[in-house]
Amino acid sequence: MAEPVSRADVQAFYEALASRDPVRLAHCLADDVEWLMSGPVEIFSFCGYRRGKAAVVDYMARLVPSMFAVKRFEPEEIVIDGDKAAIINNIASVQKDTGRILTYQTAIFVVFSGGKVISLKGVADTFGMAEQLVGHLIDPYFCATVAAPKDVVTL
C-alpha cells in the first residue's frame, strides 16, 4: 500500500501551482512526473501530455503565461485519500491575444509518492472557455458538415 500524502504536502503543492513560481513548483515534483491536462490541444495548447519535471516547469512558467494572465486561482474543494488528492479550482484569467476575461473551473487528480507529485490528470471546462473566447454561445448540436435532406449522398 502506498504511503499517505500529508495535508501539508498537498497544500505546499497547491500553493506552488497557484504561485506559478517555477522553483517552488519544481520542489514539489518528482523527476519523472507525468502531467496530463485533457482537452482539445488544437484550440488550447496548454492541454496535452507532459513528462518530466523540466517539461512541466516549462509548461507552467512559459507556455501558460504566454497565453493567459491568471488573476485568480482558488481551491473550491480539496479531498485527500491515501496517496491521492483531488482539487477543484476556480480560475479567472485574461487571454493575452484578446484581453477577454475567462472564468472557469478545473479539476485535478494528483498522485504523490514521498511527498512529491508523480502524476497529475486534469480536466478544464474548455467548452465554456471556448464560448467565452468567441464571445457567444456555441450550439453543440449544429454541424455544418451533416448532409441535408436535399443533398445527394452515395456510398
pLDDT band at 155; cut points 50, 70, 90: very low
Residue-averaged pLDDT of the chain: 87
pLDDT of residue 44: 76
Q: Which has the higher per-residue pLDDT, 31 or 152?
A: 31
Cell (9 digits) for 90: 476556480
HSE toward the beta carbon, residue 55, CA cutoff 13 A:
13
What SS3 class is residue 151?
Answer: coil
Q: Do residues 53 and 29 lie in contact, with contact meaning Cβ atoms separated by under 8 Å?
A: yes
pLDDT at residue 154 above 50?
no
pLDDT band at 136; cut points 50, 70, 90: confident
pLDDT at residue 18 above 50?
yes
Distance (Å, whole) CA 118 – CA 122: 14
pLDDT of residue 28: 98
Q: Do residues 56 and 25 lie in contact, with contact meaning Cβ atoms separated by under 8 Å?
A: yes
Name residue 114's amino acid.
G
Of 107, 95, 91, nearest in space to 132 by CA? 95
Q: Do residues 59 and 35 lie in contact, with contact meaning Cβ atoms separated by under 8 Å?
A: yes
The single-letter DSSP state of residue 114 is T
Q: Where does residue 81 rank: exposed (0-12), middle (13-18), buried (19+ CB within 10 A)? A: exposed
pLDDT of residue 43: 76
Contacts of 151 (CB under 8 A, 6+ apart): none
pLDDT in tens, 46-57: 889 999 999 999
pLDDT in tens, 100-124: 888 889 999 999 999 999 999 999 8
**Residue 155: how many other CB atoms lie within 10 Å:** 2
